Amino acid sequence: MKIDVKTFVAWFKDRLALTPILKYMTKKEVPQHEHSFWYYTGSSILLFLFIQIITGIMLAFYYRPTLEGANASIARIMTELPLGWLVRSIHSWSATFMIAIVMVHMLAIMFTKSYRKPREVTWMTGMMLLVVSMVFGFTGYLLPWDDLSLSATKVGTNIPMAIPVVGKWVTQFLRGGDDVTGDTLTRFFLFHVCILPLVIFAILIVHILLVQKEGMSVPLKDEIAKKKVPALPFWPNFVLREVIIWLVLLGTVLTVSLAFAPSLGPSADLMAPAPEGVKPEWYFLFLFQTLKIFPANMGPVTGEFVAVVLIMIGIMAVFFLPFLDNKPETKKGKLVTYLCILGVIYAIVFSIWSLQ
Amino acid sequence: MRINNSYFTRRKFLNSILGGWLGAVVVSFISPIVKFVWPPYKEPDEVKLALADYSSMPPGEVKNFPWGAKPGLLKKAADGTFIAWVGVCTHLDCNVSWVPEKKQFYCACHVGWYDENGTNIIGPPPKPLRRLEASVEGEDLFVRKPGAGAKA
Amino acid sequence: MRGIRIWCFLALASLVVPALAAARQASTPDAPGPQAKAEVKADAAAKPPAVAQEAKTAAKPAAKKGEEKRAELIVPAYSDIRQRSAVIVFYVWLWFSIAVLIYFLRQWVKEADRVYKAKYYEPEESPRKGNPMAAGVGE
């Protein structure tokens, strides 16, 4: 019996039930139409998630999640460890890229209306993934424990206070008490490296399995016309194209990380006044600005309460979009599209506004 | 002799170029990761101590000093010079202590004993304690690895 | 037609991404004012040192060793011309490698597409038997 790769693979195939998976990979087909470019966004997210896991683990080898040690350990990573500053830079930039591509992915699905039946649950798990990604970013932002991140976290964990009934409890859960302390840091670290990864993997598995089960969606007009869209095999044709996109994205993130590596401020002083220019990461800017424009008091309630309620209504509307847009081919569908465009413009305009 | 058709096809050639280049790129990514993850801490080559802390030792006394992350043992010999060892047992790396009554070094992990020169006498330690060179230079006491950076 | 779209997208992305990066850089305050010491190299052209392939140690922080509480910013910056040029070499190597890899991948893509279109069925005794890129159609 000749020992070669095929025999080796066959040994595994005999014992693990890999054959159905491999057969599925060869049989799976990806439709080719004018919007099929957006199919690449999904796997690009996985690329950045993978980069985050690797760089995150590398950073976690040396990071100390305590009030005294956090800033100093990152300073050590940046100065003493070989290419530590680059690892941190890649982790920071890849977070930005990942959330950007998640948003692009969401918008692509939104405007092609791929959330329509039977893909409603896929959309909802996708929205949950978006929220989890943003919470990842939020928890990670505190970990360097410098002035900016401390202030941003104080503001961010204060927001749930405006929610009626449960608000105070949520804030106390997030902060580990009434105020942001060393306990908050340790807690956020645990969220960031243990709880959120488990959550994201759980939701991701459901999301990906659903995508495989439902198959790739085709544009609405093709579905209505019951047109048979030409398709490419997933393996190897589509995967090879995906690899090209991954290479370009990898090169981009490396270039940007090298060129614009983040700096590290001195360790945060809990008693110091808030520094100038406190703002959250870019993906929270539009929410931040929305909160800022409401006046302090609006009748019997605070402006912040009204803002939080409106934001929650907005989030719910997007979450249940497949049910709101249940007749996508009609005029109602067009109305929803225009509302979505309006939403995107609102997010962009408010984000830019908050930077002024 | 020119062969018209070859089993080593152009496809195979291009595939191997691609595979080779891809492999090179992957290795160039792996090696910084490995360097990062492998502990960067090394033992120091020399340690500078303040002579004042140790000059008042009577001959025969042993004191600890920091040798990187390990404890070092400093003993004042009868003639006033200093002898230094790395205070780590050569068996399984436990820290050893000086027992003045017996004038021996004792490792509590597996009951190993070293005599006053650091030679292993009783128990599992296979080698004597690692010697370091101690020299007084002005106000400072320098402890160095023996030889020019050569590990004992 | 699809190919042109991808190039347009890439060109756009290559403009948007540095703009985003520059905006991010500009909007992050460099240091809380009174703590910025003389050693802080916080200029906009600050670039990081070291090359990915070699084991060069990391950024120069301008922080005093053994200081209990660090008062200044740690900014990744070049310390000599060698580091600056090493990074340029790395950029060139990186994008050249990516270009080469994409060239080969495109050849593979064209091959895979051709094989699929021709509905090529793999005969058992062909010299391409060990080829992992053989299409699974009809296997």
CATH code where residue B128 lies: 2.102.10.10
Please check whether residue B124 lies inside any domain of the structure.
yes
Return averaged pLDDT per consecutive 10 residues of chain C, 139 residues in all.
61 63 52 31 33 34 43 82 90 92 89 82 53 52
Please check whether residue B21 lies inside any domain of the structure.
no
Q: Which of B10, B16, B22 to probe by mutation at the C interface, max C CB count within 10 Å?
A: B22
Among A114, A112, A118, A120, CA closest to A34: A112
Please check whether residue B36 lies inside any domain of the structure.
no
Please name the residues between 238 and 297 in chain A that touch chain C, using a CB distance below 8 Å.
240-241, 243-244, 247-248, 250-252, 254-256, 258-267, 275-277, 279, 282
Q: Where are the domains of chain A?
A: 5-355
| Beta carbons of C51 and C90 less than 8 angstroms apart | yes
User: What is the sign of the dihedral through the CA atoms of C66, C71, C75 and C81?
Assistant: negative
Contact yes or no for B25 and C97 at CB 8 A? yes
The pLDDT value recorded for residue C129 is 57
| Beta carbons of A51 and C24 less than 8 angstroms apart | no
Q: Which residues of A touch B15 (CB under 8 A)?
A: none
For chain B, what is the domain count?
A: 1
CA A255, A256, A259: angle at the middle one, nearest 5? 85
Residue span of the structural domain in which B123 resides: 46-144
| Neighbouring-strand partners of residue B47 | B143
Q: Which residues of A touch C90 (CB under 8 A)?
A: 258
CA distance A257 to chain B (A): 14
| Beta carbons of A350 and A285 less than 8 angstroms apart | yes
**What is the pTM for the complete model shown?**
0.80
3-state secondary structure of B146: coil
Q: Which chains lie within 8 Å of chain B at 3 or more CB pairs, if any? A: A, C
Among B140, B26, B16, B141, CA closest to B75: B141
Average pLDDT over residues B27-42: 83
Please check whether residue B31 lies inside any domain of the structure.
no
The answer, yes or no, to whether ipTM is higher than 0.90 is: no
Q: Is A330 exposed, middle or buried (0-12, 13-18, 19+ CB in 10 A)?
A: exposed
DSSP 3-state percent helix, strand, coil across chain C (nearest 5): 45, 0, 50
The pLDDT value recorded for residue C50 is 35
Phi then psi dihedrals of residue A208, to 5 deg: -70, -40
Q: Which of C73, C74, C85 to probe by mutation at the A interface, max A CB count within 10 Å?
A: C74
Q: Name residue, tokens 């927001």.
A: A159
pLDDT in tens, B94-132: 999 989 898 899 999 999 999 888 898 988 999 999 899
Does the domain at A5-355 match CATH 1.20.810.10? Answer given as yes
Q: Name residue, tokens 């460890």.
A: A81
What would the two tokens of residue A76 be?
A: 């050590």
Residue-level pLDDT, tens digit, chain A, 356 residues? 566 778 887 888 888 877 777 777 777 888 888 888 899 999 999 999 999 999 999 999 999 999 889 999 999 999 888 889 999 999 999 999 999 999 999 999 998 888 988 899 999 999 999 999 999 999 999 999 988 888 888 888 888 887 878 888 888 998 888 888 888 999 999 999 999 999 999 999 999 999 988 888 888 888 888 888 888 888 788 999 999 999 999 999 999 999 999 989 888 888 888 887 788 888 988 988 888 888 888 788 888 888 888 998 999 999 999 998 888 888 888 899 999 999 999 999 999 998 88
A:B CB pairs within 8 Å: 19
CA distances (Å), C115 to each of A192, A216, A236, A238, in order?
46, 23, 11, 13
What would the two tokens of residue A54 be?
A: 């690797």
